[in-house]
Structure 1
């Protein structure tokens, strides 16, 4: 089962997200008047500003497909660092979510433990 993935933000992902959410119009400032269309250069400037804001923020996305072992996710992280600007790269594992006491969080509808992404840290105490 594939349970490891790389999360973070890269400049390419931020730019793609900025292109999706940046509007092509701006308010005319007058009540009852239709919004004004942005020119291509104005829109590109708005996209660049939005991408810079995304890169400066804290939001992260899943950057990689799911891997079977953490070393493959580590290799993906190394490649991502070499290819361009990135931030907050980390490996997460899909497993049971636990509370502060270490007990699994139970889904009230299914009475089963909740499954979600948690930060992965190698546990070297099991190595003999």
Structure 2
């Protein structure tokens, strides 16, 4: 299953958010951001991530599709989320049942 929930977005935004910014008066120095400034930057980054199309696998693989469907229902009830889909990792086969192997991919 792949999706993008608010918790996953905030975690990714916190990981990628910088805690410093360049000093406009001095080009070679940086200034530490305050907690409020950092949280604002994290919020802006989280909005950018939610507006995108990238998805992540939020949890380990489920044993059966019905468990994934239950997770999707709970996630939709609990908060903001997008692109909730059940996907499978499968080998593509041709009409004869032989796996299609492309050396470039």
Same fold (TM over 0.5): yes
Measured after TM superposition, the shift of residue 69 of structure 1 is 1.2
Partner of 2:67: 72
Q: CA RMSD in A?
A: 2.2
Give the secondary structure class of the aligned counterpart of 2:88: strand
Q: Does 1:27 align with 2:22?
A: yes
Q: Tell me if the contact between 1:7 and 1:89 (Cα under 8 Å) persists in the aligned partners.
A: yes
Q: Which runs of 4+ in 1 moved over 4 A?
A: none
Could you tell me which runs of 5 or more consecutive residues in structure 2 were left unpaired when the two chains were aligned: none
**Which aligned pairs between 1:58-97 and structure 2 lie closer than 5 A?**
58-97=53-92
Over 3 Å counting, the alpha-carbon distance change for 1:23 and 1:107 in structure 2 is same
Could you tell me which runs of 5 or more consecutive residues in structure 1 were left unpaired when the two chains were aligned: 1-5, 109-113, 115-128
TM-score of the pair, normalised by structure 2 = 0.84
Give the secondary structure class of the aligned counterpart of 1:9: strand
Q: Report 1 or 2 for greater relative contact order, CA contacts < 8 Å, sequence distance ≥ 6.
A: 2
Residue by residue over 1:30-86, the C-alpha shift from the partner in whole angstroms, topping out at 9 and shown as x without a partner, is 43x221111111000000100111111111000222112111111111111111010
**Which aligned pairs between 1:113-124 and structure 2 lie closer than 5 A?**
none
